[in-house]
Amino acid sequence: MVSMKQMRFKSPAKVISAFLAGAIIAGGVATAATTSPSSVITACADKRTGALFLSSTGTCSSTRTLVEIGSAGMNAKAISALVTPTVVSISVTSTAGSGTGSGSIYKSNASTSYIITNNHVIESAVTTGTISVEFTNGDQVAATIVGRDPMYDLAVLSIKSGNLPTIAVGDSSKVSVGDPVLAIGSPLGLASTVTSGIISALNRPVTTGTTGSESYVNAIQTDAAINPGNSGGALVDTQGRIIGVNSAIATLSSGATSGSIGLGFSIPINEAKRVIDEIIATGKSTRPVLGVFFDTTYTGIGARILRLSPGEGAEKAGIPAGSVIRSIDGVKIVDEVVAIVKIRSYAPGTTITVVVDLPNSGGSKSFKVTLGTAPSM
The residues that are catalytic are 120, 153, 231
CA 146 to chain centre: 17
| Closest C-alpha among 204, 149, 196 to residue 172 | 204
Start-to-end CA span in the chain (Å):
29
Strands 33-34 and 168-169: parallel
Strands across the sheet containing 52-54: 52-54, 41-46, 64-69
Give how far Cα 193 sits from Cα of 4, 69, 80, Å.
18, 20, 9
| Closest C-alpha among 231, 239, 222, 85 to residue 164 | 85
| Closest C-alpha among 275, 274, 23, 26 to residue 159 | 26
Contact 203, 209 (CB under 8 A): no
CB neighbour class for 211 (10 Å; exposed up to 12, middle 13-18, buried from 19): exposed
Sign of the alpha-carbon torsion through 253, 257, 262, 267: positive
Give SS3 for 154: strand
Helix (H) or strand (E) holding 276: helix 269-282
Contact 215, 151 (CB under 8 A): yes
